[in-house]
Structure 1
């Protein structure tokens, strides 16, 4: 995977936001004098990535479970996986396009967040199909769901990456490059796409995960080494925040908007591309193998793109038993 050093350092240098402090002992993780376990949690600035973290803070869930969380924004999932591997992060959030990294053993999926249908292949006005991108410059953040949807769209059109000129770019660079006409197309996602539309209102969505079909899970991840006591606490926080989100959809949008410092309308638009599930549903789907099937399907796809040499069993990187134990209260 190609990744710029500047992009990685930039992501790690984003100032963290300190959240709640608690007073409860823990058997692993860094603890302060009061016994609180300190964790560093990464997220992407969208409804999926920010929602549960915002709720956990607003509802005092970190404190309830003996955790103190500082959160940092990252531009994509792969950079968070790298940060986990270098010890600069304890937990993170990734979209479906980065699931190939846990599948290679670089991280563990501790919980599924949502099913997302926010990814699109877009083209400049006048290009009306994926086939119309043949031979043209298409920007994509490598290793992300932007690359995933581009691969899916090309496959459906009977094409491959060799039929286009792929240009590896950071997500924010895609926004400016597309707006200035430096690239003809892009693999990108909402809510960034809303920003691009403001600059190029005539752009064409030539492919979407919604139209292509399938299930595209987003996930919360930890480092490759399982830290059972701390992981259980984090899962409990995420599970309770998830149920609060299910019961209070409008308030959840407001909480995410406050954290992201954007309008509630923007977050509501972003949330329209997301399917949330209750914790009970996620537990049931973990127990009956549905979640494993989602992950297996993703791994099979990544074998086809060459990002994986072979598809591993989902239980090799999804801590299913730990999730059901912690979330199945």
Structure 2
């Protein structure tokens, strides 16, 4: 299972057609919305919205598309085969840099600890990773977290032996003792920490605001169908309110989708900070610190260019549209 890659390759047309949004998604008023999401605690509430009928309650037709491969969801949106997708700001910037026209209408959450660099016994700091074998899924946000952590410790990727593996395979390799450290996200953090004596030497909590998770739409759909977009955004906040009032049932729904126990799912709570309407409005407001999306977007874009993960800094004009969260009841 993959999540949160910021290097988007175009997938084959046959696959994208098979998981596409359909011809009617953007053609008429009240069109069906195909919403993509994948394994991440901040996105599992969409499953709750579907199972509890909250999309229908708001009068919007939404087909959820769950992707085992997060990268495939990015490709599907970038090539117009999803109406919208749950993805990181990093990945949206990468897609926009490649020419995709997208608009972010909602900030689901910030990663506040559920992305982790987990190391073997005896490795206590990021500096101790020098000369060690470190696995992560190349091009994912946890690869990005590794680069941020190394930079903060005065190191670069050249100071470690980077081993690119899919996230589930990377966690398994770490548990088997084949690598010295691993970059993973929840729920694979649970797998990696199963290695006796292992510990997280760096997490997304160390880099506040660096990994925002958002709902990004095809830009043209936002222009053509603002009422439908509004209903989806309203459903998100109705869902988070329902989860707050029905915590046990909600955890069971989300844990089942994530393939973990209810108890394990509860441990992810602090590591994913779901944003309120007020936090959304603050994030969409231009500003000069980590609370603001424009500030983070510029920092992430500069980092992606400097590390040659994208060729050019993506344009930010029109990327953020705050009117929908502002209109939430």
TM-score range, shorter chain: 0.7 to 0.9
**Deviation string, structure 1 residues 35-61 (Cα, Å, up to 9, x no partner):** 97433322222321212x123123322
**Deviation string, structure 1 residues 296-326 (Cα, Å, up to 9, x no partner):** 33333333333345544644322334x346x
The answer for the alignment partner of 1:89 in structure 2 is 82
**Deviation string, structure 1 residues 255-280 (Cα, Å, up to 9, x no partner):** 31243353221111112211122224
Instruction: Work out whether 1:190 is the aligned partner of 2:180.
Output: no
The answer for the alignment partner of 2:60 in structure 1 is 66
Gaps spanning 5+ residues in structure 1: where? 17-26
Contact kept, 8 Å, 2:42 with 2:274, in 1: the verdict is no
- The CA distance in 2 between the partners of 1:59 and 1:79, in whole Å, is 27
The answer for the alignment partner of 1:221 in structure 2 is 216
Gaps spanning 5+ residues in structure 2: where? 1-5
Contact kept, 8 Å, 1:246 with 1:277, in 2: the verdict is no
Q: Structure 2 residue aligned with 1:38, among 7, 13, 32?
A: 32
The answer for the alignment partner of 1:270 in structure 2 is 268
Please list, as runs of the form range in 1=range in 2, the aligned pairs for 1:145-156 lying within 5 A after superposition. 145-156=141-152
- The CA distance in 2 between the partners of 1:123 and 1:260, in whole Å, is 24
Contact kept, 8 Å, 2:136 with 2:183, in 1: the verdict is yes
Instruction: Work out whether 1:235 is the aligned partner of 2:233.
Output: yes
**Deviation string, structure 1 residues 128-157 (Cα, Å, up to 9, x no partner):** 322332233221212222111101111011
Change (3 A) 1:112 1:301: same
- The CA distance in 2 between the partners of 1:245 and 1:315, in whole Å, is 34
The answer for the alignment partner of 2:299 in structure 1 is 297
Structure 1 runs of 4+ aligned residues shifted over 6 Å read 1-5
- The CA distance in 2 between the partners of 1:71 and 1:157, in whole Å, is 39
SS at match of 1:66: coil
The Cα shift of 1:69 comes to 1.4
Instruction: Work out whether 1:100 is the aligned partner of 2:96.
Output: no
* TM-score, L = length of structure 2: 0.79
The Cα shift of 1:111 comes to 1.3
**Deviation string, structure 1 residues 66-87 (Cα, Å, up to 9, x no partner):** 21313213333x3321122334
- The CA distance in 2 between the partners of 1:61 and 1:248, in whole Å, is 14
Q: Structure 2 residue aligned with 1:47, among 22, 30, 41?
A: 41
Cα root mean square deviation, aligned: 3.2
After superposing the two structures, state which structure 1 stretch, 283-292 or 65-74, moved more.
283-292
The Cα shift of 1:246 comes to 4.9
* TM-score, L = length of structure 1: 0.79
Contact kept, 8 Å, 1:100 with 1:302, in 2: the verdict is no
Contact kept, 8 Å, 1:114 with 1:277, in 2: the verdict is yes
Q: Structure 2 residue aligned with 1:116, among 82, 88, 111?
A: 111
